[in-house]
Amino acid sequence: MKVYIITYDIKLAWLRNYNPLFKALMSFPNWMHHMDNTWFIVTNNTPTGIYNKLQPHLFADSRILIAQVTSSYFGLLSQDAWDWLEKYKHLM
């Protein structure tokens, strides 16, 4: 299992329904969504495997980045987000 950060940009988002993308992201057993357009997930999948699961729910002009999270990070997040990251730090 590894922790990944997924961030995306959907052009004309106000015109598009991205509930199917949200459902696909929430299908991973362990996920966190504390920032617009950014999710953390825990999975055995590779970045390519994650992309293949999400790609049917993206639009042709969408952009997406999937990267493994390491134990070296810093930022301004809610306490819930820090607690979630700490819970899975042993996988980083």
Which class is 2-8+19-91 in CATH?
Answer: alpha beta
What pLDDT score does 15 carry? Answer: 62
What pLDDT score does 16 carry? Answer: 66
Domain boundaries, the chain: 2-8+19-91
pLDDT single digits (tens) 5-24: 999 987 766 566 788 999 99
What pLDDT score does 13 carry? Answer: 61
Contacts with 58 (C-beta within 8 Å, 6 or more apart), sequence order: 8, 10, 21, 64
What pLDDT score does 41 carry? Answer: 98
Long-range contacts for 27-30 (Cβ within 8 Å, ≥24 apart)? 27/53, 30/88
pLDDT single digits (tens) 27-71: 999 999 989 899 999 999 999 999 999 999 998 888 999 999 999
